[in-house]
């Protein structure tokens, strides 16, 4: 596994946390490369459940160095709170390392995220309102404040003054809401500087050196391919690159440093927030997936929209992410459906799309072309090898592999870390 990128191959919540945690057992470094606390990664180990938003899933193991890379946006209050929670549960997060080049989420980013969504009304994206979009906007407009600025009080004040001069105009004049005072923010962030100082490092050098030394490095993606700002269902996306390219720019290593890209996909598909969703099931089948799959957001508690597995989208994820192998998660949730369906193409106005359509309007209007597969009745959550699965479940997996064009190298049949196997 030397350097493995774990990416979401759908609209997020595929089970990346579980897989990254599993791989972390044999890893030396686990690094987050994009996103922020919009992510919610759940890890279940026996009776213990951890929901992580910023800290990489490898934190659980003392032998792993968890790293937050430059491509992430970091809300320092949330990060410190998450570290405190971990500490209170017996997990020591002191070995966490944080890139000085990561951008800070500031209080005005959270506020702007909320007021912009309100302003959009029925066209809203349904963001997590954590300030992710506004923080990345400032990064790219070169008005961002970075982690390293925390340690230069003069520069921090200057940058914050500049930012607030503009943000307060926008908050008050465009969004008709209250401006923000500088002093409480300076005080708050000075406290964060002190608490975070021991963790800040040159994360790019750390990851690069680990790879050079032949250590095992896991790049833990957040969100998913269809939420990618370039390759996803724009504008109903997040503001970063969850696809594997993001792992390079978000940490500072090159393409030849990566050995494998593991795409994570559920045996069906879900989405939180607004945006097109060709295989969405607005019926009792979808409701059953929500119920059995526990499909409620880790971050916002919102009910996830559910639908049949979309192989047009999954093939696209394999292509744009350079996915070399797939993990199929939550196969247990499909037990008990008489028929399970796979979308193999879309149809719109007499035209058939085998590849993901380049024109987004097709995604709203198209009808999926389904292939029906026999379901299985058995509870498969105890399966620990392909041989333990009913024949119908095995053929379902084989068909996914065939359509994806890459091997399925991991199957998951329950939330627990142990409810996983590697098909021989
Ligand atoms: P992530 O954001 O990609 O890390 O995924 P989330 O943690 O947000 O969502 C995945 C959810 O499914 C979590 O509640 C996991 O505990 C749970 N989960 C993961 N794998 C399986 C599985 O194979 N079966 C079932 N039933 N639940 C799973
Ligand atoms: P993990 O890592 C699922 C969605 C939001 C919204 C859109 C933009 O747990 O898979 P943002 O706050 O990022 O500006 O919201 O992206 N979204 C996610 N959906 N899983 C996530 O992360 C998500 N992170 C953001 O619901 O539609
Ligand atoms: Mg999640």
Cβ contact 380:396 at 8 Å: no
Q: Taking all residues of the chain, what is their mean pLDDT, rounded to a whole number? A: 97
Q: Is the CB of 266 under 6 A from ligand 1?
A: no
Per-residue pLDDT, averaged over 84-112, amounts to 97
Per-residue pLDDT, averaged over 77-88, amounts to 98
Q: Is the CB of 263 under 6 A from ligand 1?
A: no
Q: Using the atom order of ligand 2, give the atom closest to the CA of residue 227.
A: 16
CA of 315 to the centre of ligand 3 (A): 21
Q: Is the CB of 56 under 6 A from ligand 2?
A: no
pLDDT recorded at residue 165: 97
The 10s digit of each residue's pLDDT in 182-194 is: 999 999 999 999 9
The 10s digit of each residue's pLDDT in 374-422 is: 999 999 999 999 999 999 999 999 999 999 999 999 999 999 999 999 9
What the block records as the tokens of 111 is: 């506020």
Per-residue pLDDT, averaged over 41-59, amounts to 94
The 10s digit of each residue's pLDDT in 143-152 is: 999 999 999 9
What the block records as the tokens of 266 is: 């559920």
Q: Is the CB of 17 under 6 A from ligand 2?
A: no
Per-residue pLDDT, averaged over 329-336, amounts to 98
Per-residue pLDDT, averaged over 72-90, amounts to 97
Q: Is the CB of 220 under 6 A from ligand 1?
A: no
Per-residue pLDDT, averaged over 282-307, amounts to 94
The 10s digit of each residue's pLDDT in 105-157 is: 999 999 999 999 999 998 899 999 999 999 999 999 999 999 999 999 999 99
Q: Using the atom order of ligand 1, give the atom closest to the CA of residue 333.
A: 26
pLDDT recorded at residue 298: 81
CA of 13 to the centre of ligand 3 (A): 4
**300 pLDDT tier (thresholds 50, 70, 90):** confident
Q: Is the CB of 18 under 6 A from ligand 1?
A: yes
Residue nearest to atom 20 of ligand 2 (CA): 12
What the block records as the tokens of 312 is: 């047009």
Per-residue pLDDT, averaged over 57-80, amounts to 97
Note the residue count of the chain. 424
Per-residue pLDDT, averaged over 199-222, amounts to 98
Q: Is the CB of 247 under 6 A from ligand 1?
A: no
Pocket probe for ligand 2: among 13, 34, 113, 238, the residue whose CB has the most ligand atoms within 8 Å is 238
Residue 169 has pLDDT above 90, yes or no: yes
Closest CA to 41 of 260, 310, 329: 329
**241 pLDDT tier (thresholds 50, 70, 90):** very high
Domains and CATH numbers, the chain: 3-98+202-260 (3.40.440.10), 103-196 (1.10.300.10), 265-421 (3.90.170.10)
What the block records as the tokens of 343 is: 């979308």
Residue 333 has pLDDT above 80, yes or no: yes
Pocket probe for ligand 1: among 11, 37, 38, 42, the residue whose CB has the most ligand atoms within 8 Å is 42
Pocket probe for ligand 1: among 218, 415, 422, the residue whose CB has the most ligand atoms within 8 Å is 415
The 10s digit of each residue's pLDDT in 257-273 is: 999 999 999 999 999 99
Residue nearest to atom 17 of ligand 1 (CA): 415
Q: Which residues are catalytic?
A: 13, 41
Using a pLDDT cut of 70, give the percent of the chain over it: 100
Per-residue pLDDT, averaged over 47-60, amounts to 95
pLDDT recorded at residue 297: 86
Residue 1 has pLDDT above 80, yes or no: no
Give me the residues paired with residue 346 across strands: 353, 368
Residue nearest to atom 21 of ligand 2 (CA): 223
pLDDT recorded at residue 424: 75
pLDDT recorded at residue 398: 98
Using a pLDDT cut of 90, give the percent of the chain over it: 97
Per-residue pLDDT, averaged over 32-48, amounts to 95
Q: Using the atom order of ligand 2, give the atom closest to the CA of residue 40.
A: 9
């Amino acid at each position: 596994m030397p350097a493995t990128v774990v990416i979401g191959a759908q609209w997020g919540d595929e089970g990346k946390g579980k897989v990254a945690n599993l791989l972390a057992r044999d890893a030396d470094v686990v690094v987050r490369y994009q996103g922020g606390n919009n992510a919610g990664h759940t890890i279940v180990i026996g009776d213990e459940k951890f929901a992580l938003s910023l800290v990489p899933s490898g934190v659980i193991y003392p032998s792993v160095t968890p790293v937050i890379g430059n491509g992430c946006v970091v809300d320092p209050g949330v990060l410190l709170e998450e570290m405190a929670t971990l500490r209170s549960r017996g997990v020591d997060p002191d070995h966490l390392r944080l890139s000085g080049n990561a951008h800070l989420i500031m209080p005005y980013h959270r506020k702007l995220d909320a007021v912009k969504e309100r302003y959009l009304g029925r066209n809203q994206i349904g963001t997590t309102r954590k300030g992710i979009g506004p923080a990345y906007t400032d990064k790219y407009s070169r008005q961002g404040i970075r982690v390293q600025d925390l340690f230069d009080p003069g520069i921090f004040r200057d940058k914050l003054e500049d930012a607030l001069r503009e943000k307060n105009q926008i908050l008050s004049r465009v969004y008709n809401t209250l401006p923000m005072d500088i002093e409480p923010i300076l005080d708050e962030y000075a406290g964060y500087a002190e608490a975070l100082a021991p963790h800040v490092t040159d994360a790019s050098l750390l990851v690069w050196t680990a790879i050079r030394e032949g250590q095992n490095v896991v790049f833990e993606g957040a969100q998913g391919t269809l939420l990618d700002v370039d390759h996803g269902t724009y504008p109903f996306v997040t503001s970063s690159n969850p696809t594997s390219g993001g792992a390079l720019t978000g940490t500072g290593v090159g393409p030849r440093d990566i050995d494998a890209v593991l795409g994570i996909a559920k045996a069906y598909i879900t989405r939180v927030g607004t945006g097109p969703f060709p295989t969405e099931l607005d019926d009792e089948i979808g409701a059953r997936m929500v119920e059995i799959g526990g499909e409620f957001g880790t971050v916002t508690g919102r009910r996830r929209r559910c639908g049949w597995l979309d192989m047009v989208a999954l093939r696209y994820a394999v292509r744009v992410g350079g996915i070399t192998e797939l993990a199929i998660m939550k196969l247990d949730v499909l037990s008990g459906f008489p028929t399970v369906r796979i979308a193999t193409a879309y149809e719109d106005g007499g035209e058939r799309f085998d590849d993901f359509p380049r024109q987004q309007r097709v995604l709203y209007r198209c009808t999926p072309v389904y292939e029906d597969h026999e379901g299985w009745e058995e509870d498969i959550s105890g399966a620990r090898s392909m041989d333990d699965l009913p024949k119908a479940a095995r053929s379902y997996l084989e068909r996914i592999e065939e359509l994806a064009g890459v091997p399925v190298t991991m199957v998951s049949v329950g939330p627990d870390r142990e409810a996983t196997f590697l098909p021989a």
